[in-house]
Chain A
Amino acid sequence: MKILVAEDEPILIRTIEMRLKRDGHDVHLAEDGQQALDCLEAGPPDLIITDIMMPYASGLEIIAAVRARPWPKVPVIILSAMGQEDVVLEAFKLGADDYITKPFSPNELSVRVRRLLTH
């Protein structure tokens, strides 16, 4: 499955990449919001994992951009920091499917990805 990961923390994005590649996914990385929006130009991924706070474009803008396209529903998982409850609610309003709060376990993320992809 093609998964787009948008996260600006280098170690975290590589960790997520490693975990998802182990699960056999085709992982595309975006290290800021603009790169993520550019990746979307190439076509819909099967799932998106995005941080909320990123340079150039936020996770919320990415969700809005995905939902504005005439694609079949692409599941979106939000990576949020503690205390960002309001933003998470906003993300759900925009169409996010799940969220995970940092710090999180890579194994937990893997399970959530699997769950969303099998639905």
Chain B
Amino acid sequence: MFYPQLHISPGMPGQDWLVLAMVMVLGVLAALLSLILYFLLRRRRAERLRIRWADIYGRIIQRTIFHEDAGERDAMPVPVVVARSLGRPQLRQLMIAQLIGAKRAISGTAATNLVQLYRQLALDRDSLHKLASPKWHLQAQGIQELATMEQRDYLTRLYRLTNAQNEVVRREAQGAIVQLYGFDGLRFLDVIDTPLSEWQQIQLLRLLQHAIGTPEENIFRWLRSPNVTVRIFTLRLIAEQHLQQMIPHVTECLLDLSGPVRLQAIRSLGELAATDSVRSLTSAYQAEGLAGRLAILQTLGSIGVQGDLEFLDLQLSATDNRIKLEAARALARSGEEGLQRLDRYPQTNHSPWKEIFQQAKSEWVL
């Protein structure tokens, strides 16, 4: 076997280079280690400082929460050292974060005190400053802060962002406006040209659950919005708020050019238990595709179709078994006469009708 051998004689110039290279590498390593150590120590010091100030701010916030209980109604007492600490942006952000956390958990006069402290320390300016940031996550954060701290004075700034290009910013701004102004906040529906996502619609409806007032006067406009998702959201809102007087307008939407809008109109009529709309629903049936037809049959089943069982009877002979099942369900739910119709159906003892009818009847019994 041949093993190559490395011959380095003491007098070779290569040795100096090797030593020099090793010294340089060691030097770079030492410098790197020193830098890492420096940054670690700096980070540790910053963390210790953050914990210390978080504790101090926590105490200030607690005192603020019980401020009124002690019979004091003037400005919140903030020690000079704390006021001075708030000259540092990181510590201002820490105070904002603590106040936001407390405000989300506390209500009543204690919450009012927290808002007062936020304004007293001019922290609203920091939140506003974030709105002007080019970074979307800072904008979203600023919006959340202003909404949580109930800063209604900044309506114009927030309102502008309801149609922002960034989806998260837009969503936060729309949520904030509704949180602060209830139904009046929905004015942004007049102008938005971007779609309202499913998730956003659910969020807005949730925020409006306990809102005072009614959106009625604007609904006509929103039902004619060129934005399809605004029309869908409005139909959902009508159902969610049980606006029975809007049923004729929802019924008109059965003729909307957009399929998803028609589908939502059908569902909303079901949620509103709009018995007067049975004729309109059955008239719209033929023009609908499978999803629309299934939705109409489900709606008819949920609102009851005492006078139009013949229509359901006809659907039992449809080629699609899903249609048969929904028609059978609607008949079963309509009561005794509907059940008799299922029994009298010519193919009642043949597959698949036999299984479908059994399923529909068993659900009705439940």
Is B65 in contact with A106, judged by CB distance below 8 angstroms?
yes
Is A11 in contact with B107, judged by CB distance below 8 angstroms?
no
A49 to chain B, nearest CB (A): 13
Question: Interface-forming stretch among B108-116, B120-128, B247-255?
Answer: B108-116
Quick one: which of B102, B104, B109 contacts A15, CB cutoff 8 A?
B102
Q: Which residue of A lies closest to B206 (CB)?
A: A83
Is A15 in contact with B106, judged by CB distance below 8 angstroms?
yes
Give the CA-CA distance A105 to B107 in the complex, in Å. 5
Interface residues of A in 4-32 (CB under 8 A from B): 9-12, 14-15, 18-19, 22
B242 to chain A, nearest CB (A): 20
Interface residues of A in 68-114 (CB under 8 A from B): 83, 102-108
Q: Which residue of A lies closest to B65 (CB)?
A: A15
Q: Which residue of B lies closest to A51 (CB)?
A: B105
Q: Which residues of B contact A15 (CB under 8 A)?
A: 62, 65, 102, 105-106, 110
Is B104 in contact with A103, judged by CB distance below 8 angstroms?
yes
B98 at the interface (CB under 8 A from A): yes
Interface residues of A (CB under 8 A from B): 9-12, 14-15, 18-19, 22, 83, 102-108
B58 at the interface (CB under 8 A from A): yes
Is A103 in contact with B58, judged by CB distance below 8 angstroms?
no
Give the CA-CA distance A108 to B106 in the complex, in Å. 11
Is A14 in contact with B58, judged by CB distance below 8 angstroms?
yes
B173 at the interface (CB under 8 A from A): no
Q: Which residues of B contact A107 (CB under 8 A)?
A: 69, 108-110
Give the CA-CA distance A102 to B106 in the complex, in Å. 7
Given A11-B62, A11-B102, A102-B105, 9 more pairs with CB closer than 8 A: A10-B58, A11-B101, A14-B58, A15-B65, A18-B66, A103-B104, A103-B106, A104-B106, A105-B106
Is B103 in contact with A103, judged by CB distance below 8 angstroms?
yes
